[in-house]
Structure 1
Amino acid sequence: MPKIKTHKGTAKRIKLTSTGKLIRRRAFGNHMLSKKSKSRKRNIKTTAIVKGGMAKNVKRALGV
């Protein structure tokens, strides 16, 4: 069996923590920010954890 290649697009967007969790950025934080509330923009700035079946697919893409 050949080695599984890392999906570089995924690797640039998602980081693996030391405990094995997957950290990603949230969407909708680049433009048209004037119409978004302060609390919404503050929530967009925080990182999110990839969970469930999506996490399984991402780990496979990262070769973990």
Structure 2
Amino acid sequence: MPKMKTKASVKKRFKTTASGKIKVAQAGKRHMMIKRSNKFIRNARGTMVLSEPDTKIVKKFMPYGL
């Protein structure tokens, strides 16, 4: 059997933690930042862990993990 392919977009956007959770960058920080409050910008810094339902969807696109 040939290997299953990992989605290229998933490779670029997500990383897995040692416990199997999915890390992703915070959304909403690419443009139109003038409208955003300083509190939003500060809280959206760094990465976050995806919720369980979203994790199930993303893991389907990376059959061998990342």
Per the TM superposition, whether the score is higher than 0.5 is: yes
User: How high is the TM-score relative to the length of structure 2?
Assistant: 0.79
RMSD across aligned positions (CA): 1.5
User: How high is the TM-score relative to the length of structure 1?
Assistant: 0.81
Runs of 4+ in structure 1 over 4 Å off: none
Shift, 1:55, TM fit: 0.7
Q: Give the length in aligned residue pairs.
A: 64
Higher strand share goes to which structure? 2
Higher helix share goes to which structure? 1
Stretches of structure 2 lacking an aligned partner (at least 5 in a row): none
Q: 1:41 maps to what in 2?
A: 41
The amino acid that maps onto 1:11 is: K
